[in-house]
A and B are shown apart, each in its own frame.
Chain A
Amino acid sequence: MTNVALDTAPARKPTFLLVNNPSVLIFLACLALFTLGVTVLAEGFGIGVVSTSFVKTLGKTLCLCLVALAMDLVWGYCGILSLGHMAFFGIGGYAIGMWLMYARTEIIVVQSLSAAPLPPTAQEISDGIAAQIFGVVGASEFPPIWAVAHSLPLQLAAVVLVPGLLALVFGWLAFRSRVTGVYLSILTQAMTLALSLYLFQNDSGLRGNNGLSGLQNLPGLGDVPQSTVSIWFFWASALALGLGYLLCVWVVSGKFGSVVRAIRDDESRVRFLGYPVEAYKLFIFTLTAVIAGIAGALYYPQAGIINPAEIAPIASIYLAVWVAIGGRGRLYGAVIGAAFVSLLSTYFTGGQAPDINLGFYTIQWVNWWTVLLGLSFVVVTLFAPKGLGGLFDFIASKRSPSRHGADLGPDAGALREKEAET
């Protein structure tokens, strides 16, 4: 027994990332198979069994899985229940949406002006685009935040930089004043609320509650059918998810992951070991915000429209729900949770699910799905804190004693005491 334990000690094997984590290979293989399968079955390049709109739904789901990965990293591993990651997701969407909308409108405006007797000036083109985009909110000039909207590389940089910088500044403020636990959650929720309220204004410069639309049309590629575009985005989403998964695995395995999980379990103890806890939290918070931004930038061109309601705090709460149902603290759990719950939600709220007639009352899924989701969330929290991912443990019979919530020592356990402090 003793010798066996010694031999299997993970720290003794100097190995590569993937060999060390066979589950990563399984995950990547599943993702590749899935991508291949959808490509073959879809309309764009395959036999056309799967409709284009469903390919888009699947592509969007992959993006949601990516942001769920980020959420799992920040919450499941680092213990920060952020209610702001869907805001970062939305910011990524807005950043790419600005370019899509600008570039497409530019093509239309230039085309319409080309028929005029005089060649258009730069100012006329710009005025024409602004009138097209902002007419709906009664403005006709470009707000300052659109300064680089004409440039794809700069807006792509914004997809990464804006959520990253916002997370960096907010995280720096919050972590440095040692706001933790539920206070931090409420603070992130407040940040999200502030952002969405700001975007709801007409003079926010992002078209108020109209949001940005027509994002499914790629500028300059008007001739390419949506069935092809949808497959491109599906591939991009799958690639992003695969890379994101590898990145997350790399971060959480090894000593860094060990420190991060230690911070989750007992922050002050880690501090007394000499680790600058705030820097670690800030690193994870910012990294995940960037991942969320990228996921959003891939999601919204598939959705076609983005508006401030997508950023409202409730969206981030749903993200937490997905991760919790999937099983936090394990990366594949987050992916499974996001895919499972979001696809189920699409099914039930899309009106395809058959209503249940009870005789005296007809249960319409469109209305009752949210109730069910909310309650199932309570049930998962109470009875299955490990979520769906816990099922895998059960199947693999990798039973390890879970003492969550139970007393851990002769007195009230350290972990429990720690949680009570927050």
Chain B
Amino acid sequence: MSTLLEVSGVSVSFDGFKAINNLTFQIGEAEMRAVIGPNGAGKTTFMDIVTGKTRPDEGRVLWGEKSQSLLSMSESQIAQAGVGRKFQRPTVFEDQTVAENLMLALKKKRSPFAVLNFRASRADQERVEELAGEIGLVAALARKAGELSHGQKQWLEIGMLLAQEPRLLLVDEPAAGMTPAEREHTTEILVEAAKTRAVVVVEHDMEFVRRLDCKVTVLHEGSVLAEGSIDHVTSNEAVIEVYLGR
């Protein structure tokens, strides 16, 4: 299994506070990874660095077969390279319909002139409907995203993420605010997605993580504390200490 993303020796500090400290992280082509850690462990900052929102003070972030550096790329270039991100809170375009939201996310040319001349083909329409079916929003295609419930917005965002057809999915707390049945469904989608691409899930809910059944990375104070199966890390002394305190 070849490495898709390699983060090595990355550090970043905000006004003297080290949010990420010499972090090293790797993920392969089709792999599911759960990232856990207490508040302030640097989980969100880690995602910010990978997606280009935050520039690290030092370190390397390499991507793909050609080991391209992501640090010199803008957010949109990184996204086009194949990194998709789902935010902690659902951020969909509330003024636009579900169909428009999905159409925006479809993997197509992104330049202004290409978009100006874009007309949705039959295949595009069908792909949108297919995605809507996957996330259970077929009935809501013509509704404005702002009218959806919180859970539906989460779904829509996951649908948009899938529409982007990214090679790496970064998912921040996907199950927050969902019913048990919805969580089940989310797990299915993520596990399915991980068969063809890399998925990194940041989650607090241990039960959810356990259900994902994958390798777990524990972050603490900006660096990796432990890595391995869920049972391995939950039995790790240092992890217990961090989570439960003394």
B79 contacts A274, C-beta separation under 8 Å: yes
Closest-by-CB residue of B relative to A411 is B89
Check A161 for interface membership: any CB of B closer than 8 A. no
CB distance from B51 to the nearest CB of A (A): 6
CB distance from A77 to the nearest CB of B (A): 11
Number of A-B contacts (CB under 8 A): 127
B139 contacts A256, C-beta separation under 8 Å: no
Given A276-B76, A414-B89 in contact, is the A10-B95 Cβ separation under 8 Å?
Answer: no
Rounded to whole angstroms, the CA-CA distance of A383 and B1 in the bound complex is: 60
A261 contacts B142, C-beta separation under 8 Å: no
Tell me the residues in window 132-147 of chain B with beta carbons closer than 8 Å to chain A beta carbons. Answer: 138-144, 146-147
Check A22 for interface membership: any CB of B closer than 8 A. no
> For A1, what are the chain B residues with a Cβ–Cβ distance below 8 Å?
139
B74 contacts A401, C-beta separation under 8 Å: no
B120 contacts A409, C-beta separation under 8 Å: no
Given A6-B142, A11-B125 in contact, is the A259-B94 Cβ separation under 8 Å?
Answer: no
> For B142, what are the chain A residues with a Cβ–Cβ distance below 8 Å?
5-6, 8-10
Interface hit among A124-132, A205-213, A265-273? A265-273
Given A254-B119, A255-B104 in contact, is the A275-B110 Cβ separation under 8 Å?
Answer: yes
Tell me the residues in window 198-227 of chain A with beta carbons closer than 8 Å to chain B beta carbons. Answer: none
Tell me the residues in window 149-179 of chain B with beta carbons closer than 8 Å to chain A beta carbons. Answer: 150, 153, 160, 164, 177
Check A14 for interface membership: any CB of B closer than 8 A. yes
Interface hit among A93-101, A104-112, A277-285, A338-346? A277-285
Check B112 for interface membership: any CB of A closer than 8 A. yes
> For B96, what are the chain A residues with a Cβ–Cβ distance below 8 Å?
258, 261-262
> For B128, what are the chain A residues with a Cβ–Cβ distance below 8 Å?
11
Check B238 for interface membership: any CB of A closer than 8 A. no
CB distance from A89 to the nearest CB of B (A): 24
Tell me the residues in window 100-143 of chain B with beta carbons closer than 8 Å to chain A beta carbons. Answer: 100, 103-105, 110-112, 115-116, 118-120, 125, 128, 138-143
| 11 A–B pairs (Cβ distance < 8 Å), ordered by A | A9-B142, A11-B100, A265-B95, A269-B87, A273-B110, A274-B79, A274-B80, A279-B111, A279-B112, A280-B112, A414-B89
